[in-house]
Amino acid sequence: MWVGLREDAIDQLEQAVALNRNNTGPYFELANMYRAQNELELAVATYEQILALQPENARAYQRLCETYFQASENTRAQVYCEEALAIQPDYALAWASLGQTQYSRRNYEGAIQSFENCVRFGGDNPDIRCFYLRGLAHYYLGECEDAWNILNEAVTRIQLAGGSSENNPVLNASLEGIRLVTVSCTGYSGRPLPTRIPPTPIPPTPIGG
């Protein structure tokens, strides 16, 4: 069912693009649908169409960065993130994407700097990658205090956002990072680990409801 609905949405967006080739909104939506279908070549081609219309569109460069990261082409991904930031230096999401790419390439120092910029420019709710991956980067550099503090902050932010599910990979990675700090870092053994906030129980249906 969902596959059919998604294909219908792609058909409609392709028609919208054909009707008004100068409106970039449908291009972005169409590229997102291609990415969701793992049609990454089509997504890349769509973002490139946006850049043909608007060569200084930082958002399109950031999305190309994310798409190439999704395709495990991290070197190319980093280039596009840097292009986005050359156009818009305060683009918090591009800093998050760049940091993720640097982290995956084990450039932990560079990743930390990028994630710090993400937090700096990200307003009240920066991308969670800028906390949990930054904390893990500090751990891999042996910077235990920073790792401990930032990973705990990541857990708090995730839980406040309602992400306490056992299937939440970001929460699981953050909790595992905190556990590794207690195992590997001098002075952290025996420190209490954060616990998951249990889900709010569904209230019973009133009698007669």
Q: Which two tokens stand for residue 172?
A: 């699981």
Integer Cα distance of 144 and 135 in angstroms = 9
Integer Cα distance of 174 and 156 in angstroms = 10
The yes-or-no verdict on residue 25 having pLDDT over 90 is no
Neighbours of 109 (CB within 10 A): 10
Question: What percentage of residues in the chain have a pLDDT greater than 70?
Answer: 83
The yes-or-no verdict on residue 26 having pLDDT over 50 is yes
Integer Cα distance of 138 and 132 in angstroms = 10
pLDDT digits (tens, 9 = 90+) for 98-134: 999 999 999 999 999 999 999 999 999 999 999 999 9
Q: Are 115 and 134 in contact (CB under 8 A)?
A: yes
| CA-based end-to-end distance of the chain | 31
Q: Which two tokens stand for residue 109?
A: 């120092």
Neighbours of 110 (CB within 10 A): 17
The yes-or-no verdict on residue 42 having pLDDT over 90 is yes
Cβ neighbours for 184, distance < 8 A, ≥ 6 positions apart: 139, 144
